[in-house]
């Protein structure tokens, strides 16, 4: 299934994208696409529905973040071998983890806001997943079963804030609009192997990232199992898993985003995003 949320910010309704590309309203069956809707039992109930019986949404308009009420937004860094190489880093012996603020989450086509004082605004196309069952000290098989679905995440980053302003990476990772997710949440059964997905990103029509999850070092089930040794995970928590080569920082010379730039990105089976960079007000 492809689950989504549509409508103005704060007024989104739950929906489903049918096989013909029509948005179908799910508000008669779930209150929202959030942790409560992502348990195996609820997902099985939604799968049993005939999409043709659901109200068609002729003009869904804006797509919101594909998951609402996210409790934790965990990120994994340097998790693609080609990206580690382009940044001059070695692949870590254990996953590198950091957090984005949940206030960074926005819709897949909402503007990216360039923060005040930003000089090195960068892009990263990433595969993300959402937890559907409680997880704590899980082995890899248990973790795999707890993944409800996958989606595209744009891990927008401000490199000067991240690397030159002291302290943890979160300064350059958690700004408002730095976490577009969607357009859809694709359930794990429909995605199949998450380690075999093509992924790409373009800025103003020029392709900078053209990679695959095949170069991911630590795969999603392992990451959830590993991270569950340090914190419990609840339904609706998300983890984004790193980016392949081609970020702005890795260009020679480096290239960064500015107001008016248009970023388009996507992952095989998971859809595409499109954002325009706007100034902070």
Query: What is the distance between the alpha carbons of residues 235 and 35, in angstroms, rounded to a whole number?
Result: 4
Contact 154, 126 (CB under 8 A): yes
| 116 inside domain | yes
Please indicate, yes or no, if residue 187 is contained in any of the structural domains: yes
Question: CATH number for the domain including 147?
Answer: 3.90.850.10
Residue 22 lies in a domain: no
Among 273, 254, 252, 242, CA closest to 65: 273
Q: Is 64 helix (H, G, I), strand (E, B) or coil?
A: coil
Residue 222 maps to a domain: yes
**CB atoms inside a 10 Å sphere around CB 89:** 12
Q: 26 lies in a domain?
A: no
Residue 32 covered by a domain: no
Q: Kindly report, residue by residue over 163-187, the tens digit of the pLDDT.
A: 888 877 878 999 999 999 999 999 9
How much of the chain exceeds pLDDT 70, in percent?
100
Query: pTM surpassing 0.75?
Result: yes
Q: Flag whether 97 is in a domain.
A: yes
Identify the domain containing residue 184 by its residue range: 65-279
Average pLDDT of the residues in 235-251: 96
Count of structural domains, the chain: 1
pLDDT, tens digit (0-9, with 9 covering 90-100), for 137-161: 999 999 999 999 999 999 999 999 9
Domain membership of residue 172 (yes or no) is: yes
Measured over the CA atoms of residue 143, residue 124, residue 36 and residue 229, the dihedral's sign is positive
Q: How far is CA 106 from CA 66, 150, 236, in A?
A: 9, 16, 15
Burial call 191-206: b when 16+ CB within 10 Å, e when fewer = beebeebebbbbbeee
């Amino acid at each position: 299934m492809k689950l989504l949320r549509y409508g103005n910010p704060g007024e989104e309704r739950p929906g489903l994208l049918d096989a013909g590309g029509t948005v179908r309203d799910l508000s008669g069956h779930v209150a929202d696409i959030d942790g409560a809707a992502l348990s195996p039992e609820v997902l099985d109930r939604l799968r049993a529905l005939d999409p043709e019986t659901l109200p068609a949404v002729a003009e869904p308009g804006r797509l919101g973040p594909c998951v609402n009420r996210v409790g934790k937004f965990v990120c994994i860094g340097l998790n693609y071998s080609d990206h580690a190489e382009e940044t001059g880093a070695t692949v870590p012996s254990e996953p590198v983890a950091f957090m984005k603020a949940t206030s960074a989450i926005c819709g897949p086509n909402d503007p990216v806001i360039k923060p005040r004082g930003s000089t090195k605004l960068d892009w990263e196309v990433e595969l993300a997943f959402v937890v559907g069952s409680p997880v704590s000290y899980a082995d890899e098989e248990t973790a795999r079963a707890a993944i409800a679905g996958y989606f595209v995440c744009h891990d927008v980053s401000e490199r000067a804030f991240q690397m030159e302003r002291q302290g943890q990476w979160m300064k350059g990772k958690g700004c408002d609009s730095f976490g577009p997710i969607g357009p859809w949440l694709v359930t794990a059964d429909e995605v199949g192997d998450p380690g075999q997905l093509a992924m790409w990103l373009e800025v103003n029509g020029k392709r900078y990232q053209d990679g695959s999850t095949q170069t991911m070092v630590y795969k999603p089930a392992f990451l959830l199992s590993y991270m569950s040794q340090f914190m419990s995970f609840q339904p609706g928590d998300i983890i984004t898993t790193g980016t392949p080569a081609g970020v702005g920082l890795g260009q020679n010379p480096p290239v960064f985003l500015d107001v008016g730039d248009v970023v388009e990105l996507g992952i095989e089976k998971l859809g595409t995003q499109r954002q325009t960079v706007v100034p902070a007000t």
